[in-house]
Structure 1
Amino acid sequence: MAKANLLPVLLLLLSLSAAVSVSAHNITDILAADPDYSQFNDFLSQTGLADEINTRQTITVLVLNNAAFSAAAGSHPLSVVKNLLSLHILLDYFDNTKLHQITNGTTLSTTLYQTTGTAHGNVGSVNITDLKGGKVGFGSAAPGSKLDSTYTKSVKQIPYNISVIEISAPIIAPGILTAPPPSADVNITALIEKAGCKTFANLIASNGLVKTFQSTADKGLTIFAPNDEAFKAKGVPDLKKLTNAEVVSLLQYHAAAKYLPIGSLKTTKGSVATLASNGAGKFDFTVSVAGDSVTLHTGVDSSRIADTVLDSTPLSIYSVDSVLLPSELFAKSPSPAPAPEPASAPSPSPRLAPSPSPLPASPPAPAGEAPGGAPADAPSAAAERSTSGKSDGVHVKASAVFTVTVTALSAFVISAVLS
């Protein structure tokens, strides 16, 4: 009887040991499954909003197809596009069922735009109204606004973590498309100089790069300014020995033509192109992260981000503790191989009795075979990480401690059942 009572417990433990926990979602992966959302997806990454979405536990993204999004975003600067996108990110979970079961038929939902501090009143909220007949309308919660957009279809849901739904038209809050870009009033050289990077500020000014930086900033720019001590460090080349073109390339190498807030830098994969890049794999660098420390690697040296000077979409400025040296200008030549040591005369050695002939070598194993249980039989790391179908955009992992604990309990219960 006791064994029979233990069987349900055993089954429960076995099912728990096979379970995994959803640890995160990835909006970039979710939208990448449909090319019709490519522009919306691309700008989520450019503005850093993709990282913001991925860190939220409960969120709804009102996505627009390429035609609808381009009609609204147009040629607006990145800061304006970010505000527009932020208004389409709800800090609540809405799926098809919930949209058609809204209490009293209408509700206001807070958006990421409301958290910026620049949205006054209900400008940063969205009005969601069940229009009946299967239609749901969306519009700005600002007084007098119309419900100019409607629910089109469901794209992806991970209850009650993230919901992605398509709407027919962009939600436009009063004044959201007319805000001037923050970079228009930013004195880049003054900010860099004040941050202890006077040498770098003087160099970009004397080489005519201030105008380039200022014009690029409207569409997205990140500057890595070495502090004054960095130019005094041992190993930094004498800039006077470089041509004018090389100095300009070196300075351009300290800027990327995209907005990279610290959160985006921490999740950067692969190489980052710079203003000096003139082809794939040219004048780029990679990023590594250790805790809160972010380091840039050039292939010649590395530099740690020391401080954030400015983070205001679409412009980021950081101070770094070393001058970034691109391999295209400062590649280290390979060290010469050590000279061979002079051969010394061999010392006489005593004669040894001849040893027995070794046994014939065993024939080599057939190609492609491995003994059972060998590591080659285990699934590859890539295979274990791969996901497909409805799991797109979901990061899944099992808790090691949880798994070991449940496995141990399962073994205990099995032992009890069999005894």
Structure 2
Amino acid sequence: MAHHNLLLLLLISLAAAVSAHNITDILAADPNYSQFNNYLSETKLADEINSRQTITVLVLNNAAFSAVADHHPLSVVKNLLSLHVVLDYFDNKKLHDISNGTTLSTTLYQTTGNAQGNVGSVNITDLKGGKVGFGSAAPGSKLDSTYTKSVKQIPYNISVIEISAPIIAPGLLTAPPPSADVNITALLEKAGCKTFASLVASNGLIKTFQSTSDKGLTIFAPNDEAFKARGVPDLSKLSNADVVSLLQYHASPKYLPVGSLKTSKDPISTFASNGAGKFDLTVSVNGDSVTLHTGVDTSRIADTVLDSTPLTIYSVDSVLLPSELFAKSPSPAPAPEPVRAPSPSPADAPSPLSEAPSPFPASPPAPAGETPAGAPADAPSAAAEKSSPGKSAGGHVTGSAVLTVAVTAFSGFVISGVFMS
């Protein structure tokens, strides 16, 4: 019995791990949160929230949120929203049962790299009289906001609770907005992507990227070591048009922060994409690791060089080779069988009197030819892809597919256990 209970607990845990939540749908149920909800979508923070397994959103109603958001640029509003997304689960019961009455909890703002010290954390304190206060964790900050009500909980996946006023960290609202004249070339060079920066500049694409950066732009820049790897084509042997297409393939005219990549289900179009939807990328996720797939090779996102709405620049560890330019040629047709002379008919066979038989036995048949070297290998397994992310193409495995396989396996195991016991 204990054996069966353990299996049941494992199934429940697995179901919780692959369960999904959608913050946009949750907030859409109440029009009082429409502004907060719209900004979550515009800044792509909704994707980041949906990609997390355990999270608490401290939501503000329209009146409380617009009092701050209406007076600041989108980049500042995004930082403000990030400070209201706690990387832990808090519901009504837990808020009133905090150890020692107070705790400091990390937020999404801390993960941006823009927060110094405790600026990216919030102070949650159980106050006297049943109230719970919220404020910045920075020293000297006040608890200017209180818990108002519970909105939605999916234990212990996501909790949405309303608070009375925005949490303002020191310097949060005075941070200068990103300049519209971001020097993309300088950022790429500083990130160790000098070869890519030089190619983009010499082929005239830097102007395209700069002009698009304020509308939506994501760059996947191979680092310098990627261009030295085996299998990278000699660019001098490509036509100018193909070189430009290859470079365009490393950028998308969309703002795609990590959260958006993790939740992306459709192929990502690039600057090289045409009307037929070719020259696109697909994404797979393994924990915090994000891998891009081209149909020919794969590349892991190594680092975030810049994430400043609406511009994102990543460094990647392999050159992305689009299948439209570098698809493997089909295997050659097998060589035709050698033409053999027809066997002589009995009438044509030599007379035993006219030709004596050979005193030696016939030679054995020649060994069968071996498979020619260089034949394409089978596609690597999923395990091989995980151990060597740069060499295989792949796609998403949805949570429902994982759960279906796991439930099937465990069901068989349970049935087997019942018959054996």
TM-score range, shorter chain: 0.5 to 0.7
Residues 1:230 and 1:35: Cα distance change in structure 2 (over 3 Å): same
Structure 2 runs not aligned, ≥5 long? 29-33, 347-396
Counterpart residue number, 1:253: 249
Select 1:89's aligned residue among 74, 85, 89. Answer: 85
The answer to whether the Cα contact below 8 Å between 1:137 and 1:150 also exists between their aligned partners in 2 is yes
* 1:172 maps to 2:168: yes
Q: Percent of pairs identical after alignment?
A: 47
Aligned CA distance change for structure 1 residues 48 and 185 (closer, same or farther; 3 Å)? farther
Who is 2:282 aligned against?
A: 286
- Preserved CA contact (<8 Å) 2:191 2:315: no
In the alignment, does 2:303 pair up with 1:316? no
| 2:13 pairs with one of 4, 12, 22 | 22
Q: What is aligned with 2:371?
A: none
8 Å CA contact 2:291, 2:300 repeated in 1: yes
Residue aligning to 2:26: 34
> For 1:339 and 1:50, how far apart are their aligned partners in 2?
57
Name the structure where strand makes up a greater proportion of residues.
Answer: 1
Would you say the 8 A contact 1:154–1:165 is kept in 2? yes
Name the amino acid aligned to 1:151.
Answer: T
Deviation at 1:155, TM superposition (A): 0.6
Where do 1:151-300 residues align within 5 Å?
Answer: 151-159=148-156, 162-167=158-163, 170-180=166-176, 187-193=183-189, 197-214=193-210, 216=212, 221-225=218-222, 227=224, 230=227, 235-236=233-234, 238=236, 241-243=239-241, 248-256=244-252, 257-261=254-258, 268-277=264-273, 281-288=277-284, 295-299=291-295
Alpha-carbon separation, structure 1, partners of 2:104 and 2:276:
44
Give the AA of the match of 1:308: D
d(CA) in 2 for partners of 1:340, 1:73: 74
CA contact (8 A) 1:303 1:320 kept: no
Tell me how far 1:272 sits from its aligned partner.
1.8
Assess, with a 3 A threshold, how the Cα gap between structure 1 residues 216 and 65 changes in structure 2: closer, same or farther. farther
1:372 alignment counterpart:
none
Whether the 8 Å CA contact 1:47–1:78 is kept in 2: the answer is: no
Identify which range, 135-144 or 313-322, moves more after superposition. Answer: 135-144
Going from structure 1 to structure 2, the CA distance change for 1:209 and 1:29 (only over 3 Å counts) comes to same
- The whole-number CA distance in structure 1 between the counterparts of 2:89 and 2:213 is 35
TM-score by length of 2: 0.59
**For residues 176 and 75 of structure 1, what CA distance do their matches in structure 2 show?**
13
* CA deviation map 1:160-184 (0-9, x unaligned): x643324455433332133235677
Inter-partner Cα distance in structure 1 for 2:75 and 2:142: 23
Q: Structure 1 residues 185 and 127 mapped into 2: Cα distance closer, same or farther (>3 Å)?
A: farther
After TM superposition, list the pairs within 5 Å mapping 1:116-155 onto structure 2: 116=113, 118-120=115-117, 124-128=121-125, 138-140=134-136, 143=140, 145=142, 147-148=144-145, 150-155=147-152
In structure 1, the gaps of 5 or more residues are: 1-9, 351-381, 388-393, 415-419
What SS is found at the alignment partner of 2:319? Answer: coil
Q: CA RMSD in A?
A: 5.4
1-side partners of 2:151 and 2:327: how far apart? 52
In the alignment, which residue of structure 2 is the partner of 1:53? 52
CA distance in 1, matches of 2:274, 2:146: 43
Aligned amino acid, residue 38 of structure 2: Q
- How big is the shift at 1:274? 2.4
Go from structure 1 to structure 2 and tell me whether the alpha carbon gap of 1:241 and 1:76 turns closer, same or farther (over 3 Å shift): farther
Farther-moved stretch of structure 1 (13-22 vs 36-45): 36-45
**CA contact 2:305–2:314 (8 Å) conserved in 1:** yes
Check conservation: 1:91, 1:111, Cα contact below 8 A: yes
- Structure 1 pair 347–322 and aligned structure 2 pair: CA distance change class (3 A): farther
